Chains A and B, each alone.
Chain A
Amino acid sequence: MNAPPRRLTLDDWDARYGDLRRAGLREPSYGGPLRRHVADGDHRLLRLQFDNSAAALRLWNFLLTEEDRLHAARAEGRRIVGAMKDLGTVPVMAYSLPGVVAFYPDGAWWTPCVMEMSDELLAVADRMGIDETFCPVRAMLGAFVTRRHFPIPDLLVCSAGAVCDDFSAIAQRLNGLGHPILWWEAPHRSEPEPDEEAVPLPGGGRAPRAQVAFLESELRRVGEALGRLAGTDLDDARLADGIQRANGIRRRLRELREACFTARVAPLPALELLIAEMLAIHFCSDLEEAGAVLDDLLDEVRRRVAAGTGFGGADAVRVYWVNPVADLRMMNRLEAAGGRLCGTEFLFSHALDGIPEDVPCWEALARAAAADPMAGPARDRAARIARDAAALGAEAVIVSRIPGASHCATEGGVMADAVRAAAGIPAVEIEVPPLSDAVAAQVSTRMEALFETARARRGCGT
């Protein structure tokens, strides 16, 4: 069952799946061959290369059956929360309550890629005036209009304030279409004034205590709404327990990341690592199962690290990747160009950092929300990236630019400059559309040039 690590096409996976079954593979209820998802419209799978482990199979099946899970939850009478924008905070509260499931409709931004535009979500958004000048998250609007994907949530909760304009504008359109939204304020994280009391944040930053107190009051307001939805209060005991369980997922992910980033040879492909990290934000609609999926992955990674096996060889250029990619295939391309991941910051580092368990639970969650990299200045985000990139031995930094995103016009340059200045690491910005095939040659050439530069620096001792 534990074959040496290898990249597989979907065709390869058909044979591998048969082998695994014959070898006694036991799968959860959502298991099965990856091929069946193509029949559901997930055509991008035909062009991806996958890890060959049973753990990766489980990860992919878990990811690609999320909509089924949400529809099943609705059928079972559970209440569904659509958390929007904050990436990692509201689901912690929602999963603290019995009978509540939360997910991010924002996740629809990958649908045009996974379905290779066949579902026309972007075309629907276009027809509503939300054109390609907006970030690919506009697919979410199409998903709400067509109702062909996730069930319409019982409660929509969206952060506003220090957020990207694309999402805020699209969520407002959604509101205008008759979907009520509970808005909560995420203030811009400001530098504490001289003599102002500040509190430490997960991940190393700090914020004025008054801002954290404000956030706490906003989260309590959201908590009250969630409690009404669940028919029971979100009290301190429940939230503290929910934080502990969320921290369990975050702890596993930190361990997985550390093992992958520090191993001599990458024990897990970049693509599967990206998918695994995504479990942090809303646990793919099942917190307990997300933990089991990650446990399997961790076991596989530990085995490979112990055996010194993996992908790409020890001379692959160590790349720190910034921002999520709209096209999953970019992760394959990174490795094809001679790189490997040694660090990532997919815009939700605050969903990976542990939520403090030594302060009152509401304040702890507020501190976690305040640490959102989107809420603060780009220079804060850049400083952490530069620090982590240096600590992880990154040889190159790629800032993946999200087409149309309001934050990408300025922050990419700020971050690339900071990384070059602070860590002396070469950095480039690369724009990745939902389907990057048309620009694949150009993107690969840029990555190869970056990696050449990085390799040349090895000899110079820089």
Chain B
Amino acid sequence: MPLPSVIFASSFVPPEWIEAHGLRPSRVAPRAAGAVEREGLCPFAGAFAAAADGPDVAAAVFTTTCDQMRRAAEIGGDGGRAERFVMHVPSTWQTPAAHRLYREELGRLGRFLVRLGGHGPAPGELAACMERREAMRDEVLARRPRLTSRAHGDLAMRFHETGVLPPASDTVPASGGSPLMLLGGPMRREDLGLFDTIDRSGGCVAVDGTESGEREWPRRFDRRRMGGDPAGELADAYFGHIPAVFRRPDSGLFDWLAAALRATPVRGIVVVTHPWCDAWRAEVPRIRDASPVPVLALDLAGAGASAGEGSTRVEAFLEALR
């Protein structure tokens, strides 16, 4: 019998932790189609709230990494089909207390998972999950040069959702266009059309700095610390190192941006934001100021006419970069 699926959308929910508790983690890219829609509601939060009531979902983990997602846990209220868990991910990070709080929240999540039918991690189980996931993350990155942007986006999404990778023979030739960095909020399934647009317009995604991309992956695990305190190492690799926009202060995001641009030269940055996403929309001017390359701010309005307009803007941006 397949394990019950625990879905989440935040990179601060370690799939290794859910897996080690005997449940199936799935970091979903929710569908725009069927999303909950309300005036002022972030489309991603609305899409995730709808996904939380999906047929194969045992529980959904919402995080406090943005206010809209925190509150989306209450959409459907007590009538929601699946169990909902709100995990507090501290915004502050410069104090030991914030790190301890994250670790305690992982503990609270673990007890929730046990109540859901899971079990506490057996000795070595968590470390084994960490090693396996890390190897797969390495593999996802290693395949980028051999894939189109869209194919790589699909691969990463599939990995996050299922925890497995298709054989490498599935590869599609890379486009080799003008290298771009994507930066911004999380991607819904339909938003991956942006990768197609970039491929078609003579570009390629060299760095995925969206919340769905590698910017929000944990740092590499320290094998020595993993042996002694795997949960502590897990917490530090995630909470201690992911440079997220909700962090206060968010200097880590800009440190990451500078380092990423040094490591991977790109011709331009496309910053994607969802309507009503305050965290990213407020940072666009600062990103422009900090970037040595041109920046295009793009609204992820979803399917339809606005998506067409977005495509035109990406095409024009890439044309200007040539």
Residues of A within 8 A of B (CB): 128-131, 133-134, 158, 160-166, 168-173, 175-176, 181, 183-185, 187-188, 190, 193-194, 210, 214, 217-218, 221, 377-379, 404-411, 413-414, 417
How long is the Cα–Cα vector from A447 to B70 in the complex, in angstroms? 31
When the two chains form their complex, are residues B42 and A409 in contact, meaning their CB atoms are under 8 A apart?
Answer: yes
When the two chains form their complex, are residues A218 and B74 in contact, meaning their CB atoms are under 8 A apart?
Answer: no
When the two chains form their complex, are residues B101 and A134 in contact, meaning their CB atoms are under 8 A apart?
Answer: no
When the two chains form their complex, are residues A188 and B88 in contact, meaning their CB atoms are under 8 A apart?
Answer: yes
Q: Is B22 interfacial (CB-CB < 8 Å)? A: no
CB neighbours of B64 from chain A (8 A): 161-162, 187-188
Q: Is B35 interfacial (CB-CB < 8 Å)? A: no
Closest 9 CB pairs of A and B: A169-B282, A409-B40, A160-B91, A165-B278, A409-B41, A160-B248, A406-B67, A169-B278, A129-B285
**A–B pairs, 6, beta carbons within 8 Å:** A161-B91, A168-B248, A181-B249, A188-B86, A410-B74, A414-B74
Q: Is B11 interfacial (CB-CB < 8 Å)? A: no
When the two chains form their complex, are residues B111 and A411 in contact, meaning their CB atoms are under 8 A apart?
Answer: no
CB neighbours of A413 from chain B (8 A): 38
Q: Is B82 interfacial (CB-CB < 8 Å)? A: no
What count of chain B residues pass the 8 Å CB interface test?
45
- Within 57-82 of B, Cβ neighbours of A (below 8 Å) are at 64, 66-68, 70-75, 77
When the two chains form their complex, are residues A160 and B92 in contact, meaning their CB atoms are under 8 A apart?
Answer: yes
CB neighbours of A417 from chain B (8 A): 77
Of the candidates B38, B86, B249, B277, which one forms a contact with A410 in the assembled complex, judged by CB atoms under 8 Å apart? B38
When the two chains form their complex, are residues A163 and B67 in contact, meaning their CB atoms are under 8 A apart?
Answer: yes
| Given A160-B248, A163-B67, A406-B276; A377-B91 close (CB under 8 Å) | no
Residues of B within 8 A of A (CB): 38-42, 64, 66-68, 70-75, 77, 86, 88, 90-92, 94-95, 97-98, 101, 104, 108, 111, 115, 246, 248-250, 275-279, 281-286
CB distance from B322 to the nearest CB of A (A): 27
When the two chains form their complex, are residues B249 and A183 in contact, meaning their CB atoms are under 8 A apart?
Answer: yes
CB distance from A407 to the nearest CB of B (A): 6
Q: When A and B form their complex, what is the total count of cross-chain residue pairs whose Cβ atoms lie within 8 Å?
A: 138
How long is the Cα–Cα vector from A253 to B86 in the complex, in angstroms? 34
When the two chains form their complex, are residues A187 and B39 in contact, meaning their CB atoms are under 8 A apart?
Answer: no
How long is the Cα–Cα vector from A176 to B95 in the complex, in angstroms? 20
Of the candidates B98, B101, B279, which one forms a contact with A169 in the assembled complex, judged by CB atoms under 8 Å apart? B279
Of the candidates B249, B250, B278, which one forms a contact with A134 in the assembled complex, judged by CB atoms under 8 Å apart? B278
- Of all chain A residues, which has the CB nearest B246? A168
How long is the Cα–Cα vector from A21 to B279 in the complex, in angstroms? 52
When the two chains form their complex, are residues A133 and B275 in contact, meaning their CB atoms are under 8 A apart?
Answer: yes
CB distance from A195 to the nearest CB of B (A): 10
How long is the Cα–Cα vector from A185 to B286 in the complex, in angstroms? 24
Taking A129-B284, A169-B279, A183-B92 as given, write out 4 further A-B residue pairs in contact, using a Cβ cutoff of 8 Å, ordered by the A residue number: A164-B67, A181-B249, A378-B71, A410-B38
- Of all chain B residues, which has the CB nearest A404? B40
How long is the Cα–Cα vector from A24 to B279 in the complex, in angstroms? 55
CB neighbours of B68 from chain A (8 A): 165, 406, 409-410
How long is the Cα–Cα vector from A165 to B67 in the complex, in angstroms? 6
CB distance from B224 to the nearest CB of A (A): 30
CB neighbours of A133 from chain B (8 A): 275-276, 278, 281
CB neighbours of A188 from chain B (8 A): 64, 70, 86, 88
When the two chains form their complex, are residues A409 and B77 in contact, meaning their CB atoms are under 8 A apart?
Answer: no
CB neighbours of A414 from chain B (8 A): 74, 77
CB distance from A212 to the nearest CB of B (A): 13
CB neighbours of A129 from chain B (8 A): 281-282, 284-285
How long is the Cα–Cα vector from A168 to B91 in the complex, in angstroms? 10
How long is the Cα–Cα vector from A405 to B246 in the complex, in angstroms? 16
When the two chains form their complex, are residues B74 and A185 in contact, meaning their CB atoms are under 8 A apart?
Answer: no
How long is the Cα–Cα vector from A173 to B74 in the complex, in angstroms? 29
When the two chains form their complex, are residues B71 and A411 in contact, meaning their CB atoms are under 8 A apart?
Answer: yes
Indicate the member of A168, A190, A218, A409 with the most B CB atoms within 10 Å: A409
CB distance from B111 to the nearest CB of A (A): 6
Of the candidates A131, A166, A185, which one forms a contact with B92 in the assembled complex, judged by CB atoms under 8 Å apart? A185
- Of all chain A residues, which has the CB nearest B72? A410
CB distance from B65 to the nearest CB of A (A): 10
How long is the Cα–Cα vector from A176 to B279 in the complex, in angstroms? 13
